[in-house]
């Protein structure tokens, strides 16, 4: 349960005003990671998708807004955030495309069934247990710090829920890429690595990984996306994704 001190709720526009989100004023809030994650999910109309750790529904709603006809199931352990995700789906006229479930990836509700989804996507906690100093705010701590469930558990969940050949998409810290690939080994392959560069000449801090259940193909390293020009201004390609609901181009032709 979200800490009672998180009672204040804000109403925020994202995706260039295409989505309006209710979210706690304190704690973990919607950021560009969720938008970029959704932009990496190459779902098509009629396909079934699942988001693990959905929060207030940012990534799943971005996907549903960009891809009419897609079905998005969301799983969120915090009942307060799950309720906000339901409200956000309703108020953005996406309730027909979205179903929100409250539960853990360790024991998902029975309606979230294994081998069912064309796409499973997630933004798992970035920090290992014992690494760094967890936020004193419960909402942020749970979003950023692994608990008893670690990265391998998240990837095990995603690959279990994906149908054979289904795509698993996640965003994570670049310095934990070796952990991501190790956890995927034997479960999903044909990995596509898409770096998110803060600016030209700067080392990447985030990477998006796509892998395919049951695939044993080679890893492909893609050019990725430069987010910022000099200063804080987004590049034109980043603006297309973050403001105009564009998809990330995994063909290597992102401009």
pLDDT tier at 175 (50, 70, 90 boundaries)?
very high
71-115, pLDDT tens digit by residue?
999 999 999 999 999 999 999 999 999 999 999 999 999 999 999
Q: Is residue 9 part of a domain?
A: yes
Q: Is residue 184 part of a domain?
A: yes
Contact (Cβ atoms closer than 8 angstroms) between residue 159 and residue 25: no
Boundaries of domain holding 114: 4-242
Closest among 175, 67, 164, 162 to 121, alpha carbons compared: 162
Contact (Cβ atoms closer than 8 angstroms) between residue 249 and residue 223: no
d(CA 22, CA 9): 6
Q: Is residue 250 part of a domain?
A: no
* Counted domains in the chain: 1
Q: Is residue 254 part of a domain?
A: no
122-157, pLDDT tens digit by residue?
999 976 655 454 444 444 444 444 457 899 999 999
First to last CA, the chain: 42
pLDDT tier at 254 (50, 70, 90 boundaries)?
low
Q: What is the pLDDT of residue 5?
A: 41
Contact (Cβ atoms closer than 8 angstroms) between residue 212 and residue 229: no
Q: What is the pLDDT of residue 52?
A: 98
Higher pLDDT, 2 or 109: 109
176-234, pLDDT tens digit by residue?
999 999 999 999 999 999 999 999 989 999 999 999 999 999 999 999 999 999 878 99
Compute the mean pLDDT over every residue in the chain, rounded to the nearest whole number.
90
- Looking at residue 170, which CATH number applies to its domain? 3.40.50.150
Single pTM value for the model:
0.89
Q: Is residue 194 part of a domain?
A: yes
Q: Is residue 57 part of a domain?
A: yes
Which positions ≥6 away from 139 have C-beta within 8 Å? 2, 3, 6, 24, 26, 27, 28
Q: What is the pLDDT of residue 232?
A: 82
Contact (Cβ atoms closer than 8 angstroms) between residue 66 and residue 39: yes
Q: Is residue 252 part of a domain?
A: no
Q: Is residue 135 part of a domain?
A: yes
105-120, pLDDT tens digit by residue?
999 999 999 999 999 9
3-class DSSP string for the chain: CCCHHHCCEEEEEEHHHCEEEEEECCCCCCCHHHHHHHHCCCCCCCCEEEEECCCCCHHHHHHHHHCCCCEEEEEECCHHHHHHHHHHHHHCCCCCCEEEEECECCECCCCCCCCCEEEEEECCCCECCCCCCCCCCHHHHHHHECCCCCHHHHHHHHHHHEEEEEEEEEEEEHHHHHHHHHHHCCCEEEEEEEEEEEECCCCCCEEEEEEEECCCCCCEEEEEEEEECCCCCECHHHHHHHCCCCCCCCCCCCC
pLDDT higher than 90, residue 45? yes
Q: The tokens 């973050």 sit on which residue?
A: 242
């Amino acid at each position: 349960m979200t800490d009672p001190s998180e009672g204040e709720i804000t109403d925020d526009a994202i995706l260039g005003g295409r989505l309006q989100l209710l979210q706690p004023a304190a704690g973990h809030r919607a950021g560009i990671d969720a938008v970029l994650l959704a932009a990496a999910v190459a779902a098509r109309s009629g396909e079934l998708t699942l988001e693990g750790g959905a929060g207030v529904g940012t990534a799943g709603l971005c996907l549903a807004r960009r891809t009419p006809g897609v079905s998005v199931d969301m799983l969120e352990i915090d009942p307060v955030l799950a309720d906000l995700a339901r409200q956000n789906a309703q108020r953005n006229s996406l309730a027909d495309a979205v179903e929100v479930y409250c539960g853990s990836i360790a024991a998902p509700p029975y309606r979230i069934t294994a081998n069912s989804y064309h796409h499973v996507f997630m933004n798992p906690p970035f920090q290992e247990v014992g690494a760094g100093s967890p936020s004193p705010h419960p909402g942020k701590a749970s979003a950023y710090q692994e608990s008893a469930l670690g990265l391998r558990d998240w990837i095990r969940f995603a690959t279990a829920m994906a149908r054979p050949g289904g795509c698993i998409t996640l965003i994570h810290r670049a310095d934990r890429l070796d952990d991501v690939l190790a956890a995927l080994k034997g479960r999903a392959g044909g990995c596509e690595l898409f770096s998110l560069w803060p600016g030209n000449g700067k080392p990447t801090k985030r990477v998006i990984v796509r892998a395919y259940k049951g695939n044993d193909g080679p890893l492909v390293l893609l050019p990725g996306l430069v987010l910022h020009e000099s200063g804080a201004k987004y590049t034109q390609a980043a603006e297309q994704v973050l403001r105009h609901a564009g998809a990330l181009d995994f063909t290597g032709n992102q401009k």
